[in-house]
Amino acid sequence: MTPSRPLKILAGIAVVFGALTVFSGWQGLFGDAATRAALGHTVGYVLWFNFLAGFAYVAAGLGLWRGERWGRWLATALALGTALVAAAFGLHVLGGGAFEMRTVGALALRLGFWAVVAVVAQRAATART
């Protein structure tokens, strides 16, 4: 499959988004004490998921750019995985757990982005068959 222009744009954004996600996750997990303290009330499993998912963002973006079938399935898996983490985070918040409001925004952004990428990729594949 040759990716459409919109899909190539989303793929490029995914690669950049992934690199930035890995960098920020690294800082949050392995940065100095001042950097970690500045993040406030992080939720460990959300931070770890985002960090590890950043590598998958890059891979999915590259796969989508090249028109690989696995790229669209990885994009779909990222959307579903992010939805599950967001649901777990929601339960954490409802249970009175400490959190940062920016985590809500970040999860919404990630989920929205990967949902759009997955839908565009799946529709592009369906249109070409």
Predicted confidence (pLDDT) per residue in 114-126, tens digit: 999 999 999 988 8
Mean pLDDT, the chain, whole residue set = 95
Do 40 and 97 touch, CB atoms closer than 8 A? no
What confidence score (pLDDT) does residue 2 get? Answer: 81
Q: Rounded to an integer, what distance in angstroms lies between the CA atom of residue 56 and that of residue 70?
A: 12
What confidence score (pLDDT) does residue 129 get? Answer: 59
pTM attached to this predicted model: 0.92
pLDDT at residue 1 tops 80: no
Q: Rounded to an integer, what distance in angstroms lies between the CA atom of residue 72 and that of residue 53?
A: 15
User: Can you spell out the DSSP letters for 4-52?
Assistant: PHHHHHHHHHHHHHHHHHHHHHHHHHHS-HHHHHHT-S--HHHHHHHHH
Give the total residue count for the chain: 129
pLDDT at residue 31 tops 70: yes
